[in-house]
Structure 1
Amino acid sequence: MSTYAAISDLSFLLVEPSETQRKIIAHALGEAGIRQIEFANSIASTLETLATFPPDLIISSMYLPDGTANELIDKIRNNPDTEDQCFMLISSERNREHLEHLRQSGVLAILPKPFTNKDLNRAIRATLDLIAEEDIDLELFDPKTLNVLITDDSPMARKHIAKMLNSMGIENIEFAEHGKEALERLNEQEFDLIITDYNMPEMDGRELTEAVRNSPLLAHIPILMVSSNAEDSQLSNIVQEGVDAICGKPFEPSTVRQLLAQILN
């Protein structure tokens, strides 16, 4: 069980090359109750700081002198010592293609510049929720015996979802890279919940949902779909096709906790 009880216990690393932006964000963090803030201005200085000061949350700008936040998150996720690091982006970048990699990498939030204090506070709370481990309260299941299948073609996304479930007391987790592999796993063992991405090769989330709902042996399993395109019109009717709930990427632990309690209870 984590010893964290309050926002003031959290430590942050702010990666921002602009002195003006550093002051603005640091001031907002201070108003939110954050007291422990370290600073970096590049990928190199961030990695150097992580070696001696592993923070609870990294807040980074998109563009840095020696690369982008996409390159930074790859270096963090590919290092066993930092792969579980909580990460948030604050950027004026609006191009979905430039942001997609971060969405798939398990960031807790992507905030625009300028950001609102409300959005910043939600992201900070998400960090606390992920760190302060607390078993999810389910009427019909013991979280520790719940069997979950995560289906996502992104290894980083799979790890992030698994870490979030672990923080809720869910330990029995299996993985599949796409819908076809998921069906193979579903026919091999019993699962209580399927968490699936929408966009995947071989067989996407909609096709997986259709196959599960058309199978007499699998149709009862609840399905939570996660997608960086959750707001798109192509997903507007997915609930009618058998998905129990949809969650956008990036997602907050409290949102997933609420959705799981809803569909499992």
Structure 2
Amino acid sequence: MASESRFEALRTILVEPSSLQARIIGAECDEIGLRQVERVGTIAEALDTMLRARPDLVLSALYLPDGTGTELVEAMRSEGRLAEVPFLLISSETRPQALEPVRQSGACGILPKPFTAAQLSRAIGRTLDLLGTSHVLENDFDLESIRVLLVDDSPNARRFIRRVLENLGLSHFIEASNGREAARMLADTMVDLIVTDYNMPEMDGREFVEYVRTRSWQQEVPILMVTSESNQSRLAAVQEAGVSGICDKPLEPALLQQLLASMLRKSEIS
């Protein structure tokens, strides 16, 4: 398989309490050349193993004996040494209310069960690309001068999205925990790009987009919404409000790069 050489050096931790599921996933990992896989069964074991030797990748189930995959990735994102370790959730769970927390937590991707080796390979590739350095926008834009306003009520989500944007070459950020706080910042701080969540307290993403487009002195600034929201009527309302682009959580690296490039080019032209 073409991706084998890319994966063979990766030290991976598989967090899976089921011996049967661990064997199935392990066989798929072996098929794509991911052979340095250490299996643990709990959050406590996973964190202890990671803190002893930082892994290159974590694959995890959602439901664990001492918590959830969401709690694991949140603990990782809060721990300096583990904050940038790529995390891929592998789960048969499909309920939005069950997957929403992990989408917000800083997971790099979600791979549904059952899956093929090819699907696992693509999911791991996207996961690695998301946190890998890829300054693909540098040739087209003066990234050093781009000022980004990052708006999300989750500190973990802000930290994770910031890391992803830094990997694209962006370096100047200000942060807000909700739309109301961000609106206050816009009153006296000029920005070149806004990246915002949808579901936030006090002023949500739609209300914030409407504020920027109708009441701010920076009405033309590009706005990218990064959200796990799946309600089509709500997303349509956001588009009607004037958002420049919408990207799902977990982030899709290629789509994120495409959206950012398109928005920044339009802002330069205008």
TM-score surpassing 0.5? yes
Closer, same or farther in 2 for the Cα pair 1:8/1:132, shift >3 Å? Answer: farther
Q: Deviations over 1:76-114 (max 9, x none)?
A: 233222223221111122232222211111101122221
Task: Tell me, yes or no, if the aligned pair for 1:179 and 1:204 is still in contact at 8 Å.
Answer: yes
**What is the match of residue 165 of structure 2?**
165
Q: Is the 8 A contact 1:14 1:37 kept in 2?
A: yes
Query: CA 1:210–1:58 in 2, change beyond 3 Å: closer, same or farther?
Result: same
Aligned to 1:17: 17
Asked if the contact 2:86–2:131 (Cα under 8 Å) also holds between the matched residues in 1, the reply is no
C-alpha displacement of 1:131? 4.1
Match in the other structure for 2:133: 133
Distance 1:6 1:73 in 2: 24
Aligned residues: 261
Q: Does the 8 A contact of 1:146 with 1:192 survive in 2?
A: yes
Equivalent residues of 1:7, 1:128 under 8 A apart: no
* 8 Å CA contact 1:14, 1:58 repeated in 2: yes
How far apart, CA to CA, are the structure 1 residues paired with 2:237 and 2:216? 22
Q: Which residue identity does 2:238 align to in structure 1?
A: I
Query: Contact 2:77–2:106 (CA<8 Å) still a contact in 1?
Result: no
Q: Secondary structure at the match of 2:170?
A: coil
Residues 230, 246 of structure 1: 8 Å contact kept: no
Cα displacement (A) at 1:8: 3.2
Specify the SS of the correspondent of 1:188.
Answer: coil
Question: Over aligned residues, Cα RMSD in angstroms?
Answer: 2.0
After superposition, where does 1:142-161 map in structure 2 within 5 Å?
A: 142-161=142-161
Give the SS at the match of 1:229: coil
Amino acid at match of 1:53: A
Alpha-carbon contact 1:140-1:264 (below 8 Å) kept: no
**What is the one-letter code of the residue matched to 1:190?**
M
Q: Which residue of 2 aligns with 1:224?
A: 224
Counterpart AA for 2:89: L
CA displacement 1:47-79 (0-9 Å, x = unmatched): 121012211221111122222223322322332
State whether residues 12 and 36 of structure 2, in contact with CA within 8 Å, keep that contact through their aligned partners in structure 1: yes
Query: What residue identity is the alignment partner of 1:261?
Result: A
1:236 partnered with 2:236: yes
Residue 31 of structure 1 is matched in structure 2 by 31
Residues 226 and 247, structure 1, Cα contact 8 Å, conserved in 2: yes
Superposition deviation, residue 157 in structure 1:
0.7
> What does residue 43 of structure 2 align with?
43
Pair 1:112 & 2:112 matched: yes
Which residue of 2 is the match for residue 69 of structure 1?
Answer: 69
Unaligned stretches of 5+ residues in structure 2: 266-270
Q: 1:120 to 1:232 in 2, by over 3 A?
A: farther
Measure the CA separation in 2 of the matches of 1:230 and 1:148.
Answer: 25
Q: Give 2:175's aligned residue.
A: 175
| CA deviation profile, 1:157-206 (whole Å, cap 9, x unmatched) | 10110010111111111100111111111122211100011111111111
* Cα distance, 1:13–1:163 mapped onto 2, change above 3 Å: same
Q: Measure the CA separation in 1 of the matches of 2:192 and 2:109.
A: 28
Matched, 1:252 2:252: yes
What TM-score, normalized by structure 1, do the two folds share?
A: 0.91
Write the mapping of 1:84-103 to structure 2, written as runs, cut at 5 A. Answer: 84-103=84-103
Which residue of the partner structure matches residue 268 of structure 2? none
More displaced stretch, 61-70 vs 193-202 = 61-70
Q: Distance in 2 between matches of 1:138 and 1:239?
A: 28
What secondary structure is seen at the aligned counterpart in 2 of 1:261? helix
Q: Which amino acid aligns with 2:190?
A: E
Contact (CA 8 Å) 2:245, 2:259: kept in 1 or not? yes
Q: Which amino acid aligns with 1:147?
A: R
| Counterpart Cα distance in 1 of 2:222 and 2:131 | 26
Quote the residue 1:6 is aligned against. 6
CA 1:132–1:157 in structure 2 vs 1: closer, same or farther (change >3 Å)?
closer
Q: CA deviation at 1:36?
A: 2.3
